[in-house]
Amino acid sequence: MAFWCYILRCADGKFYTGHTDDLERRIAEHHHGGYCAFTTKRRPIELAWCADFPTRIEAIEAEVQVGKWSRAKKEALIKRDWNRVSYFARAPHERIGPPPRQGVSTSLDTNGGGD
């Protein structure tokens, strides 16, 4: 059985982070409303990011960790922009220069291949 950590983008632009063992059911509950006060007030919602984990504990740990992140770091995660995730992981006084440009490849494959 897989467990999921997910980020929803609400109609007002706010993010909601959660975890579940049934992603489709949980998203449907958020869409329907009444299951979560935060998203019920901010519908419609859209799934912005999700990752699966082998245990509920790992999904909960990811939910707690990601839930504490800044908006900028969550946006970088959603875009899978690992350079920006790394940049925003540092304390503001430790960041050197502006954030990396979005869309810059972090691949070690220089031949245009990939996985």
Prediction pTM value: 0.84
Nearest to 7 by CA among 109, 87, 77, 94: 77
| Segment 17-64, tens digit of pLDDT | 999 999 999 999 999 999 999 999 999 999 999 999 999 999 999 999
Domain range summary for the chain, segments of one domain joined by +? 3-68, 69-101
Task: Provide the β-strand partners of residue 18.
Answer: 6
pLDDT of residue 48: 98
- Distance, CA of 89 to CA of 92 (rounded, Å): 9
Please check the confidence at residue 108 and state whether its pLDDT lies above 80. Answer: no
Angle at which helix 82-89 crosses helix 71-78, to 10 degrees, equals 160
- Distance, CA of 7 to CA of 20 (rounded, Å): 11
**Encoding tokens for residue 112?**
């245009």
Say if domain 3-68 classifies as CATH 3.40.1440.10: yes
- Distance, CA of 60 to CA of 53 (rounded, Å): 9
